[in-house]
Chains A and B, each alone.
Chain A
Amino acid sequence: MAESSTLTGAIRDIVQRHGGMPTRLLQILRDVQDRLTWLSPETLERVAEEIGISPNKVRSVAEFYSFLYTAPRGRYDILFSDNITDRMLGNRQLLHYLCDRLRVGVGKTRADGLVTVGTTSCTGMCDQGPAALVNGYTLTRLDKSRLDCIANLIESRIPLTEWPREFFEVYSNIRRADILLGRHFADGSALRATQKRGPDAIMEEMVKSGLRGQGGAGFGSANKWLSCRNAYGDVKYVVCNADEGEPGTFKDRVLMQDFADLVFEGMTLCGRIIGARQGFVYLRGEYRYMLNALKATLQQRREAGLLGEAILGDPSFNFDIEIHLGAGAYVCGEESALIESLEGKHGVPRIRPPFPTTHGYLNKPTVVNNVETFATAAKIAVEGGDWFASRGTAYSKGTKLLSVSGDCERPGIYEYPFGVTVNRVLEDCGAHNAQGIQMAGPAGHTISAKQFHRLICFEDLATGGSFMVFDQSRDILDGIRNFAHFFVHESCGFCTPCRVGTSLMRDLVDKVHTGHGTLYDLEEMRKLGRIMQVSCHCGLGQTAPNPVLDSLQEFPEAYERRLRSTAYEPAFNLNQALEEARQLTGRHDPGAYLNDEDLLVGVMP
């Protein structure tokens, strides 16, 4: 009785702190979980009651996001980042090492409820892995001695606030700077330029700049802003996509950590131009560690008259920014799923058209841009469109931030004018022995050395920024398999070909990877991949087969050397399937096996 009333009290406080707004449901559930470690059915009912929405709405959100738990979880919740780059740095051995030390199974909660250890999709620390999250906070550069220390801290129940700060340190690793990262930007200068010259003149600079969306799709940013500006309605929104879920990408992390003012200024500028008063940053859950610092920056900007009411003393210029934290869902980087998530729902992509510029947040006209796009826009407002357009190629103006990781001496952030060759990047980052690159993340392109002369730009090799290097010692198929599993985990499940197709593809890749595949299976992969590419509802499913299709083309030998010589091999192992019957009947004579080879395998254990 007493216990349930404190539960109600705690939940009521949290809900009230969020103004009881259904749009803040995801944020509310995060806060509730922080208090209670997991979301029991009773807790979810209470949350629904307090907000005044139906319990199944709350459950559907709780069941959707990886970082929300509807089963008991340890007080210390550790998730190892499981991108291929973490694997290349030995995260698997470390995972098992920690599990052994803490006497807990992978993905399990220890019986005493103290700790859970599991894995999660790429946490955006590929330049300083192996990485993990503890209760949502980033741990970098893990090794055995760090894990020894962490195991002791956990066993002694030391609160996270007392753990050594260096465990949580995130370096920026900026290796090459050009016009975006290299030139000084005075806070407020873009807004002052807009005050002085008027929003129309700045919009004109945006048009001249030719800036294209830096999130990967490369849609013309000026067109997007204009379309939203011209859209019918008084209430409009600006949304900054800081979900950065593409494995191998971490440039938005660095922009948010070191250049937050520039990003916020770009958003405010956009608000001024399109006529919005409210902006949102959708920050991926994995970057929770920087939330407080970002909130402080927003407060400083309000105090400096660069945000909030009457910006720069102009009573007609009002714009504020709120930060929403994601909770582990790659699909929420897709702009319409992101908007759904911002509205407090589970992140299923909407039917498009209509597009967000006319029907976005709460169905109002909304600009959604990537972090880098907003940062660049702020620079363009100050330095001008021509200045920006003087760099890059004919159809890809300006510069691009690349997140370089994998087998190279200097992983980190590299800013290049568009049109740089892959070779040049490899040289600069100290990748001497590269066999292949995963460009633009798993959703992008797998390329072999034959393609290293190609240019990084929208006309040739388009990218959102991920650049993962595999050297000659690597097995390309390890990467492909990692990506296939990633897409299974991240499919939202809405449409058939992605929900089912990602699992079928994973099973085929696993079959080949474990040496059971045949030529027939390769053809199956091609066929399945083609169906997914053209039939899925959103970009996630449409790009999910890319790594398999590309690598079949670029690295056929990685597949062929694993194939069985037979034309067809069943997906299940017949001999293994008979094992249960053998156990039951106690038969181990040669007649109980299909052939001699199986007999050998069969008696081994």
Chain B
Amino acid sequence: MSEEHSFTLDGRRIPFQDGQTVMQAALEAGVYIPHLCFNPEFTPHGSCRVCLVKVNNRMQAACTTPAADGQTVQSETEEVRDIRRGILQMLFVEGNHVCPACEKSGACQLQAVAYYVGMLAPHFKHFYPRRPVDASHPEAVIDFNRCILCELCVRASRDVDGKNIFAVEGRGIQAHLVVNTPSGQLGATNFSIHDKAAQVCPTGSILTKHQGYNIPIGQRLYDRKPINIVGDVAQLSESLGGRRHD
């Protein structure tokens, strides 16, 4: 007789420990739930809403919902996928994501999740916001056009690097990522490509200079296997296209 806690996820029994979220328990059990603002090394944020699952009869974010005994969780249903697809489409039209021209293409978590949920086109009207590119730093470039406001770089820089270089400012659709210097330029900070913050971006927003095409298109992280098999960008070793922090 085991006293182990568990819930079911798409019919599969998932064990969990007290205090774990649905996402954490699923990940530990090797079941993929799509996510963008969640990274197992950081406290859950709950902002992208891509990890939506149906818990009993309510849609909830898997990354912030505490696991509970006997819960029925649905993830890979058409209903849930439909909503995830809609949210992905919103992210794509909000920024400027020109995948064919982006050096992250093929190794981008945003793109990979979009494929995973079956998003074929952005569907909604594009916002075409005017956002700058910041190339002031000798080693890295920030393309704000691709930022999805997941705040992983914000959290990494503040909580791991102890540098507090990034922040989100503004309200509503005006919300945008900023660099915490009077000039707003990354070059004026002590940012380094060895920072945790340089390695967590799930999109092509924060890029290391001079190595964009080291791995040819076609051989990149998500080019041959989908994200549910290969996992997050930030968790993988460099040779696989991710940048592990050691």
- What residues on B are CB-neighbors of A536 within 8 Å? 49
* Contact B91–A496 (Cβ < 8 Å): yes
Taking CB atoms and an 8 Å cut-off, the chain B residues in 140-197 that contact chain A are: 148-149, 164, 167-175, 178, 180, 182
Q: Is A491 an interface residue (CB 8 A)?
A: yes
Are A499 and B173 within 8 A (Cβ)? yes
Contact of A96 with B by CB under 8 A: no
Q: Which one, B49, B64, B149, B182, contacts A497 given CB within 8 A?
A: B49
Give the nearest-CB partner of B154 in chain A.
A56
Does residue B44 face the partner (Cβ distance < 8 Å to A)?
A: yes
Over the window 490-510 of chain A, the binary record of Cβ atoms lying under 8 Å from chain B Cβ atoms (1 yes, 0 no) is 111111110111111001000
Q: Does B232 make an interface contact (CB < 8 A)?
A: no
| In the complex, chain B residues 62-79 whose Cβ is within 8 Å of any chain A Cβ | 64, 66
**B46 interface neighbour in A45, A66, A489, A495, Cβ under 8 Å:** A495
Residues of A within 8 A of B171 (CB): 63-66, 329, 346, 491-493
CB pair A60–B167 under 8 Å, yes or no, is: yes
Interface size class of B (residues with CB under 8 A): 35 or more
Q: Say if the beta carbon of B200 comes within 8 Å of chain A.
A: no
**Given A351-B46, A571-B125, A496:B90 Cβ within 8 A:** yes
Take A535-B59, A535-B87 as given contacts and tell me if A489 and B172 are in contact as well, using a CB distance cutoff of 8 Å: yes
Chain B nearest Cβ from A514, distance in angstroms? 15
With a cutoff of 8 Å between Cβ atoms, the chain B residues found around residue A491 in the complex are 171-173
Closest residue of chain B to A59, judged by CB?
B169
Given contacts A493-B174, A495-B46, A531-B83, contact A500 B182 (CB under 8 A): no
Question: Do A531 and B87 form a contact, CB below 8 Å, given A54-B164, A495-B49?
Answer: yes
Residues of B with C-beta under 8 A to A158: none
Q: Tell me the bound Cα distance from A536 to B86 in angstroms.
A: 12
Inter-subunit contact A502/B86 (CB<8 Å)? no
> What B residues does A351 contact at CB under 8 A?
44, 46, 64
- In the complex formed, the residue of B with least CB distance to A66 is B171
| Inter-chain contact A56/B182, CB cutoff 8 Å | no
Q: How far is the CB of B154 from chain A (nearest CB, A)?
A: 10
- Identify which of A54, A64, A353 contacts B170 (C-beta below 8 A): A64
Q: Which B residues are CB-close (under 8 A) to A572?
A: 125
Which residue of B has the minimal Cβ distance to A55?
B180
Q: Give the interface size class of chain A.
A: 35 or more
Chain B residue nearest to A350 in the complex (CB)? B46
Interface residues of A in 464-504 (CB under 8 A from B): 488-497, 499-504
A534 on the B face (CB < 8 A): yes
Interface pair A537/B91, CB less than 8 Å apart: no
Complex contacts, B50 vs chain A, CB 8 Å: 496
- Which single member of B94, B164, B169, B182 contacts A499 (CB below 8 Å)? B94
A36-75 to B contact mask, C-beta < 8 Å, 1/0: 0000010001000000001110011001111000000000
Q: Flag if A60 contacts B52 (CB, 8 Å).
A: no
For window 7-56 of B, CB contacts with A under 8 Å fall at 44, 46-50, 52
Are A499 and B87 touching (Cβ within 8 A)? no
Q: Does A150 contact B (CB under 8 A)?
A: no
Binding site for B on A (CB under 8 A): 41, 45, 54-56, 59-60, 63-66, 329, 346, 351, 353, 488-497, 499-504, 507, 527-528, 531, 534-537, 571-572
The 27 listed contacts between A and B (C-beta, < 8 Å) are: A45-B182, A59-B167, A59-B178, A63-B170, A64-B169, A351-B64, A491-B173, A493-B175, A494-B175, A495-B47, A495-B48, A496-B49, A496-B94, A496-B148, A497-B86, A499-B173, A500-B91, A500-B93, A501-B90, A503-B173, A504-B90, A504-B125, A507-B125, A527-B86, A531-B87, A537-B46, A537-B61
